[in-house]
């Protein structure tokens, strides 16, 4: 499948991966974003000089699930955009588990 098709899968709420990626279990998903957030004291935005109390929206973006079990914002490389080895991953049938730090994680069988 080509990147344009993979992007449509993401927009529909699916997960995609590439056969050419070295990391086992890596995939992409579209994060829908959040509206009406507020800059809180002590948080990175406040520390960067954005006034506390400023309202903002967190816009939609693509995240990658890494081999280490973390999410990271993702941008495609030219190789990713031209690749024809994109694949749709099935939706998870089992509930998510919790990371030790309390962040959501995938089922241990997916790692």
pLDDT band at 100 (very low <50, low <70, confident <90, very high): very low
- Residue 83, C-beta contacts closer than 8 angstroms, at least 6 positions apart: 2, 3, 18, 20
- Between CA 89 and CA 18 the distance in angstroms is 10
Residue 101 is predicted with a pLDDT of 54
Q: pLDDT tens digit string along 65-81? A: 999 999 999 999 999 99
The tens digit of pLDDT for each residue in 16-53 reads 999 999 878 899 999 999 999 999 999 999 999 999 99
Q: 110 pLDDT exceeds 90? A: no
Q: Please spell the DSSP secondary structure of 43-105, one letter per residue.
A: SHHHHTTPPTT-EEEE--EEEEE-TTS-EEE----HHHHH-S-EEEEPPP-SPPEE-TTS-EE
Q: Which residues does residue 31 pair with via DSSP β-bridges, in sequence order?
A: 61
- In the predicted model, is pLDDT for residue 93 greater than 60? yes
> How far, in Å, CA of 101 to CA of 18, rounded?
29
Q: What is the pLDDT of residue 10?
A: 98
Tokens of 1: 């499948």
Mean pLDDT rounded to a whole number for the chain: 88
- Looking at per-residue pLDDT, the higher value among 31 and 95 belongs to 31
């Amino acid at each position: 499948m080509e990147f344009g098709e993979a992007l449509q899968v993401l927009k529909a709420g699916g997960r995609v991966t590439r056969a050419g990626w070295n990391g086992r279990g890596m995939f992409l998903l579209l994060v829908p974003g959040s509206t009406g957030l507020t800059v809180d004291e002590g948080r990175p935005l406040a520390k960067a000089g954005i006034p506390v109390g400023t309202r903002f929206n967190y816009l939609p973006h693509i995240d990658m699930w890494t081999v280490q079990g973390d999410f990271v914002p993702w941008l495609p490389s030219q190789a990713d955009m031209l690749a024809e080895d994109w694949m749709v991953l099935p939706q998870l049938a089992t509930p998510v588990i919790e990371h030790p730090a309390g962040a959501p994680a995938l089922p241990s069988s997916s790692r």
